[in-house]
Amino acid sequence: MTSSQTPSSASSSGSGQPLADRSPEQLSAFLDEQRAAYDALAARGLALDLTRGKPSTAQLDLSDALLSLPDGVKDSAGTDVRNYGGLQGIPDLREIFAELLGVTPDLLVAAGSSSLVLMREVLLDLWLHGGPASERPWSHEEKVTFICPVPGYDRHFTLLDWMGIETVTVPMRHDGPDVEAVAALVAHDPSVKGMWVVPTYANPSGDSVTDQVAQRLATMPTAAPDFTIFWDNAYALHHLTEVETPTPDLLGACAAAGHPERAIMFASTSKVTYAGAGVAFLAGSEATVAWYLDHLSKGSIGPDKLNQLRHAQLFGSAAGVRQHMARHRELIAPKFAEVARVLDEGLGGLGIAEWTDPRGGYFVSLDVLDGTASRVVELAKQAGVALTPAGASFPGGHDPRDRNIRLAPTFPSLDDVRSAMEAVATCVRLAAAEKLAGERG
């Protein structure tokens, strides 16, 4: 579990005394100093990008053995993977990832390269036909609402917006979504049909759901009999330390609570092997898997089993995946450490920012002074540093406090991460000084 922190070390631009506690003269001098620092920054002509959580070229190179695989065209059962069939995916790969995801192979589907596509397919199937526990298709309901923990994953919100599904937000805490707020929303409103959860190393905060929160999600009464948790386990294998945070067994907890169809898990190798040529996974109850495959069969006669076989041969076992992910960690952990160091040195003690120090995942969540996130992003852009738009981690792109910025340090080089974060720290200081000076007239 990660923790937001207000670093206490001295700022590179002052004593570290909180800006809000400084005298008008001290604040004015600080503002002048930051304007000069920003002008020097803008003059450097930077062209840096921290917008998307993409694997670096070095990370992609770790999987280049895929280019010479598969060795042969038959899986361990003797099935020729070049032919039609095998809608659920090859057993070899499902056995490996079933162990990693904490499910049994018969409840896991191995599909194409994108888990986002699987989420869209499931949403559309629910909309057109309803799920195993539905009384009717969701499109026949007067209103459909989804719960969205915030800050959260912008792609989830885009899918809901595209389908015209309404959203309601709950805070994402260090132990997972605010489960009491969730329980209150689902208890009496049958229009609340589902919710998103990234259970391990959430996007963007890096927080992880505890067993206690997962148990509450599994057992809470819901007004909608087909309330569905989209358990997007995108970052479960992406540890930044040797201590691996386990993902709670929500599927098992739901089954034990008498709600076996309540949760559907999604995952992929998009940040494990090749982002554009990996394998995506879906897991659920026996009825959920049968329901999904029945709808899938109307438009598919089988996935790319050759790609699945090459992945199975690349890894060999669940242990092989863990070893592969340790090599990823060696490449990206120093970048996250550099983000923490620069933010601590550049913003520590000023009382104008908090950020997460994640144990895994792909992002750092930065909260700046209320009302200044958009200004920080604008200043950074003008100085040649592209950041994810302020508010992207909220439905509709609207952060009511205008304070959250998602940082993605995996793709740039370590030197570029350092330069980009020094620029971000400068922009945060300037935006905060501008606001505080303006409030004092």
- pLDDT for the residue 5: 36
Which sign does the torsion angle of CA 93, 99, 102, 103 carry? positive
- 237 shares a domain with 118: yes
Average pLDDT estimate for 143-152: 98
pLDDT-derived band at 12 (thresholds 50, 70, 90) equals very low
| Residues spanned by the domain of 353 | 4-59+322-439
Which CATH number do you get for residue 342?
A: 3.90.1150.10
Whether 213 is covered by a domain: the verdict is yes
Which sign does the torsion angle of CA 376, 380, 385, 390 carry? positive
End residue of a domain, out of 316, 333, 361: 316
pLDDT-derived band at 441 (thresholds 50, 70, 90) equals confident
- 129 shares a domain with 10: no
What tens digit of pLDDT does each residue of 200-226 get?
999 999 999 999 999 999 999 999 999
pLDDT-derived band at 148 (thresholds 50, 70, 90) equals very high
Which pairs from 274-277 meet CB under 8 Å and 24+ separation? 274/60, 274/63, 274/66, 275/54, 275/55, 275/60, 276/113, 277/66, 277/113, 277/307
End residue of a domain, out of 271, 289, 316: 316
How distant, in Å, are the alpha carbons of 48, 82, 92, 383, 413 from that of 417? 8, 43, 38, 15, 6
What tens digit of pLDDT does each residue of 323-345 get?
999 999 999 999 999 999 999 99
- pLDDT for the residue 440: 83
What is the number of structural domains in the chain?
A: 2
End residue of a domain, out of 279, 294, 316: 316
Whether 67 is covered by a domain: the verdict is no
pTM given for the model: 0.94
Whether 412 is covered by a domain: the verdict is yes
Average pLDDT estimate for 5-15: 36
Is the per-residue pLDDT at 165 higher than 50? yes
Alpha-helix runs per DSSP H in 107-236: 115-129, 154-163, 179-188, 211-219
What tens digit of pLDDT does each residue of 220-263 get?
999 999 999 999 999 999 999 999 999 999 999 999 999 999 99
